[in-house]
Structures are given as structure tokens and as C-alpha cells.
Structure 1
């Protein structure tokens, strides 16, 4: 029955099979218009967040990791004798993990969730060496959240309490034995951003070296800022931990994947978008830089804006109002900085700059430059208008650029210095009111 360790990955490497396995198109949100606006927006957001349409990068990464897991499983189970030997005397192997990195909200965690769906589930098998059946598991998913050291990570994997009597090397050897006995063929480490603050990158390095020391093919999720910190480590660390980066970028604005994502959002909203699809897609990309998390948040805030206007459907103006709203402020400053980076390739925001020198896609840069040129042309046009023409232009509501500077709130006139009569009247009113009480 050891053959199950080699055959459990059969048919899982095909790209089209992976696409069908991981794609999620949720059912439309349903009747939410009778709910309070914020509660309705919450249900809409929950529905939109379930959408997952893999792009070519995600499909190829998933196929690569499933293939590495299949190769590792086959190597450890060429025969029952080899499998039993690895249970007790694991072969020391040094692995170089894959670093999945990209901008926040680009879809890294969603890709990891898709990878978990693509991997085979638990399967029972029996060998002559053991009296009872064993359960083969395809992967070990570990979270750095709430962990204080790599030793605690290993202890959690083994299901024991970490003690000072057993060092990390002993725990690592036991983890190797457990991984081989359970048929684990891939390690996935996520939520690195939740590591204990104040310990710098040393704790992150400890986690990664501990995981890679088990000898499993491994992938970990990293943001750009962590990548910059890891590249500042010593050579022996960087060559092990960041030697295989996989940089995930947003989809191109004219790509089929982005258009399919917008169509899926419109379908999931149950027809609550009343705008021409191509224009709607263009405006969403302008306001989000193609980041899926930002796009969902912008659509949800647009629905909130629509409800504030006593409408149950989203118009293009709602997207513009949502973009300049306070609820979208944190996304807006990131998007506008990313546009500057795409053109200048310089910034002080290391969380937005790729640490591996990968330039922004040329079609995205062209999109941003075209948008900038359009805004410059519109600004020049408005500056050339007379005062009367500007008023006419405003009355016709032709200026619908959501990235134009929002009008400043007019200042109230100062109250001025009170006179003696004003102070006397105020005191009399105050005294009379207190007398009534």
C-alpha cells in the first residue's frame, strides 16, 4: 500500500485541472437593500472576498509547488524499506525555500489558500512495519502568528509543550521523523507580519531557518518590507532564504483576468452596478492600481455612497465619491504613491518598492503615464478657461476626475471680538437660565 504515497499526486499538475479546482465564483449576494447600509455593505464585502480567479502566475506557482511536493513524496517512498528508514533515520537535506512576495492586497494569501485546495487530502495507507494504518498528509501549514521562536513552532507541530530540556536541534530531528512518517511533502509558512514586534528580522530568520532545516520543499509569504530586511542579513542567510523569490504583481489593466474579475464582482453584486462595464473596469483600476483587496473595498464603499443617495445601485460617480472618502484614505495614499513609483522607480516607502529589482510591468507604466498625461491636459484646459467658462464647466458637471483635488471646505467667518453689551447680555441669559433651574 506504499504506492499511495507516489500516486496521490497523479493528475494534479495539469494547469487546467488546477484552474478548475481553485476557481471560486460565489453566488450573488442576494437581497441586502432592506438592511442598514453598513450591514448591507458588510454582506457585499464578504461575498466579493470569496472571488478567486487565478492568473497565469498563480497557476504556474501552484503547479510548481505541487510538483515539488510530488517529487519529494516519491523520493521518500521508493520502497517500504526506504520509507521505514526515513521514519527513524531521516536523511539530512538542506532546502532553499521559495519566497512568495508582492504588494499587500495583490492576492498572495488567496494564492496560498488556492494551493491548499489543489493539494491532495489525507489518505490512509498500511505498511507491514506498523500494526495500524497510517494517514498520509500532503502538507504542513504553519502560521507565525503568536509564536515566539522557531522552537515553539516545532513544538506545536509535534503537539508538545516546549521545554528548556530539549533543544531546537532535537526538536528538529523529531519533526523530520514525524514529517516522513506522516508523508508530509510541503511546508507552508504564512503570517510573517504577525511576528513579535521589536525583535527585528532576527526572529524571522530563526523561523525560516528552522523550517527549512526540516528538509521539506517550502514556501513562505513575505511583503516587500520584509524582503528588504532579509537582504540586509549576512550572505549565508540571504543565499538560503531569498534565493528563490517569486514576485506577484497586479494584473494588467487590459488583461482578460482583470476583466473577468470585474465581471465576477458585478455578478456577485447581483446587478448593483449600473455603468458600462469597460468604463467601470477602467475607473476601478485607476483607483486601486489593480490590487484586488483595494478594488473590493472601493466597490463596497461605492455601494455605501449609493445608499447615502437613496439608491440601491452603483453609478460611476459613486466610485469617484468613494475614492476621495475617508474610508478609502489609506488605500488612496498607497495607490498614488505606487503610481509615482511606476514612473520614477524611487520612493522612501520600502513596503511599496520591490526588493529584488523587478521593474513594474511596462503596460502598467504605460497605463499610468497615459492617465497622468490626461490629467495634465485637463488641468491645462481648465486653466485656459475664463472665470465665466469655469463656472459653466462646473455647472455642467463635466469635471468627473476622481483624482482631482477635492474642493476645500469654506472657512466660517470669525465671530469677532465681543463687545461689552454682548458680554452683558450673555451673562444675563446665563443667570436667568440658572435661576429657572
Structure 2
């Protein structure tokens, strides 16, 4: 007899199977020319955000998570007798969760969404214990945004059935354990943990995670770097439970196939509205975003606004450079420059905790070398260009026009503000005299004192 608890995971055996299920390549966006610049840029951004081309890390992470869920399901519900025993006498086990961490915008949430997409859907389980087939659920997903603690999450899992067990967290936990075994839940995913990392967030997050880990089901929670640093300040017993299996998601390497395919996909989805040289755009887009895909989408959006402001419908490399210096990208620009500084200096302490990985990466990041190599390249180009004579410089610019792939600007030029004329003594005295004359008016008549 086929075990439905194991059979529901069929078809997820290879990375190729998973890739085909989670890859998202939207159709090219159309009709932007008919919209206002702001609305058109927003529409372009929304379509670009839906792109998901899984890299090797995402594929391996999803495959490992599915295998863990499959193994737990097969071991916990191998027979109908074991299923009933766990239903009425749920074991009080504790599972050490996996911490998925990385820079904000690197693709953690998209990876979790892809994992939910490949997890088995509801399945019907026929048993002599039930009068009718029971519907099994393979995973539970919850968001910690706005949650006061672990108890509220447990109540959310129980839904309307939690009204009779609101006495304390212990009873809620017991009922959730029973519900997990009744529905065959084999994986739990907890997201938006970073919204609990302010004020008393460290203690609150610990309470939430330890409560959910008490259900005894394989569990994944998503955390930004800043939350990881907060959890590292907890007691050793908490750290051993919550930080024993971190998974650090790093940006793609600028020369990797994954990054090139992502940029080319953005060009395709834009519907021909990116006229910049693809190879140059791959390099420049990485330089101004540090390989963070959320920032890449934002930069393309701002670059499109720059193009529309210049009465054009297509984005050039100059638009991308101008977008990097724009006010709309200023906060992200500060983050990118700080990331470059951290990668060059490789400081283990200091700096912003939201940009510094709390865990030592087992292998040197393939991203760290890009900043130093790019910096060395720009220095050598600067030395070479400054050593040219005026005639040689003119010839070089004719052969390699500024902005071409062979003569990219080391940094976009900021627009200079107009210089105000220097004030003379006579001008200052004249302005002061006018100020006095304008401030003088007819004196107000005082009312007679009664």
C-alpha cells in the first residue's frame, strides 16, 4: 500500500525538477509609453520584481528543505497506527530551526515563496479512524509582523478552534502539537522576523522562535543580519537552539552565470526599453547595487524616470549612472558604499550591523573580491589616463568615447551647482539699506491710556 505521507513528495527528486517549478519569467511589459512617467516606472518595477531565476544556493536550500520534510513525514507517519499514536499522544520533541539570513533584498523571501510553491498541496488521507478522508497539509507558514509573541502565533495556527484553549501557552502548544500530527505538517516557515528586532524585539523573537520550535517539526525562519547580531547576544542555551544551523545567502558573483542571466532577463522583460550594452550593464548594475536584486530593480526604475525626463523611452548607461546619484536612490547608495567599504577593509567589528554578516562564512565570499578588484582597476585606469599627453588623451577619447564599454566612467559626475557671484562691500551696504527701508513703516498709533 502506498504511503500518502511519502508519496505526496514524489516529483521533487532532482534540482532540475525544482528549477522547472519555481522559475518565473514574466512576459515583457507593454503600454508604458501611454502612461505618465511615474506610473510607467512603477509598473515596470512591479513586473521586474516578479522575476525569479533561482541560483545554486536557492536550489540547494529548497532541495534540502524538501528532503528534511520528506524524511520527517516518512519517519513520523509510516503506518496508520503510528499516525493515531502521534495524534492522541503527540511527542514533546524540540526541533532546532534553520536560520536563513542574508542582506535585505538579496532574495530570501523569494526563496521561501519558491519553497512553498514546490511543497506538496493538500492531499486526501483515507483511514479507518475517520468516517471521511482527512485532508493533509504539508507545511505551515506564518509571518511574525505585528505579532506580540509566540502565543499569538499559536492562536493563529489554530484559527477559530483556539477559543476553547486560551488558558495558557502550554495548552495552546499541546493543541498545536496535536494539530500538526493530525494534518501531517512536515515543515514550518516563519518570516518577517526582522520586524521584531527593535526595542524588546530580541527577547520577543526568542520567545516566538522557542515556542514554535517546541512543536517538534522541521522549521525555517528568515532573519536579516541585524536580527542575527541581536540573537548572538542571547544566553548560550538560546543560541544553541536558534543559531545552530545558519544558512547565509550571499549576492551572486558579478561574473557568474546567474547574475548575467538575471540582468539579461531584466532587459527582456523591459520590452526593449534598455538600450545600454548588456555586458557593460551587467558590470555597472553590479557596481551600483552590490548584486542585491531589490536594489537592481529600484535602480532600473529610477533610470527609467531619468530617461523619461530626457524625453526618451529607452534607458542608457548614462541614465543608470545618473540614477545612482539621484535623491531617490540616496539611501540605497549609502548602503552600497558601506558594503564596498566593509568588503575592502574586511572588518569583523564595527560598522552597521544590518550590513555585516553575524556568522563567519565557511568559504570566502565570491563577492568580496569584486570591490577590491574594481577599485584596483579604477586606480590603474586613472594612472594610465593621467599619464597621457593632451594629444594622446584626445586620440584615446576618439577611439574610446566616454560611456563606451572600453571607457566607462569611474564614477558618475555630479552636476555642479551654479556659483553665486561674490558680494562686494557696496552691494552688501545697499542690501542692508533696502532691508531697513522695507522694515520701516508708519508707526502704529497707540490708544490713549484710560
The residue number in structure 2 matching 1:245 is 246
Alpha carbons of structure 1 residues 208 and 39: separation in structure 2 relative to 1, 3 Å: same
Deviations 1:47-83 (A, max 9, x none): 1000000011100100111111111111222111110
1:282–1:122 Cα change, 3 Å: same
**How far does the alpha carbon of each residue in 1:381-417 deviate from its partner, in whole angstroms, 9 at most, with x for none?**
6766899999999998578536356244234235734
Partners of 2:14 and 2:394 lie apart in 1 by 61
Corresponding residue of 2:182 = 181
Farther off after superposition, 155-164 or 83-92: 155-164
1:416 maps to 2:424: no
C-alpha distance 77-379 of structure 1, shift in aligned 2 (>3 A): same
Which residue in 1 is equivalent to 2:110?
110
Residue 130 of structure 1: CA displacement?
1.3
2:408 & 2:363 partners in 1: Cα distance? 28
CA distance in 1, matches of 2:94, 2:181: 15
* Map of 1:313 onto structure 2: 314
Contact in 1 for aligned 2:342/2:351 (Cα 8 Å): no
In the superposition, relative to structure 1, how do residues 337 and 393 fare at CA in structure 2: closer, same or farther (>3 Å)? farther
Counterpart contact for 1:87–1:181, Cα < 8 Å: yes
Shift of 1:309: 0.5
Residue of structure 1 in register with 2:324 after alignment: 323
Specify the SS of the correspondent of 2:181. Answer: helix
Aligned counterpart for 1:406 among listed residues 407, 411, 414? 414
- Determine the structure 1 residue equivalent to 2:100: 100
What is the 5 A alignment of 1:206-355? 206-346=207-347, 347-355=350-358
Matching residue of 2:136: 136
C-alpha contact (below 8 Å) 2:322/2:412 kept by paired residues? no
Query: How far apart in 1 are the matches of 2:214 and 2:307?
Result: 54
Quote how far apart the aligned CAs of 1:363 are.
4.0
How far has the Cα of 1:427 moved from its partner?
A: 7.6
Q: Gaps spanning 5+ residues in structure 1: where?
A: 432-437
C-alpha distance in 2, partners of 1:368/1:168?
49
- 1:297 is paired with a residue whose SS is helix
Matched, 1:119 2:122: no
Matched residue pairs, number? 430
- Specify whether residues 333 and 419 from structure 1 end up closer, same or farther in structure 2 by C-alpha distance, changes over 3 A only: closer
1:370 alignment counterpart: 373
Q: Is the 8 A contact 2:378 2:410 kept in 1?
A: no
Summarize the Cα distance change of 1:87–1:164 in structure 2 as closer, same or farther, 3 Å threshold.
Answer: closer
1:23 corresponding residue in structure 2:
23
1:95 and 1:427 mapped to 2: Cα distance?
77
Say if 1:128 and 1:299 are closer, same or farther in 2 by CA, change over 3 A.
Answer: same
Q: Distance in 2 between matches of 1:82 and 1:420?
A: 94
How far 1:146 moved relative to its partner? 1.4
TM-superposed CA distance for 1:380, in Å, is 4.6
Cα pair distance change 1:136/1:284, threshold 3 Å? same
Q: Distance in 2 between matches of 1:304 and 1:157?
A: 44
Aligned to 2:447: none
CA distance 1:38–1:420, shift in 2 (3 Å): closer
TM-score using structure 1 length: 0.91
- Superposed CA RMSD: 2.9
**2:150 corresponds to:** 150
Q: Calculate the TM-score normalised by the size of structure 2.
A: 0.88
Over residues 85-135 of structure 1, what are the superposed CA-to-partner deviations in whole Å (9 max), with x where a residue is unaligned?
111111222111000000011100000000011111111222111112211
Q: Is this contact kept in 1: 2:250–2:365, CA < 8 A? A: no
Q: Deviations over 1:17-62 (max 9, x none)?
A: 0000000000000121121101000110011000000011100100
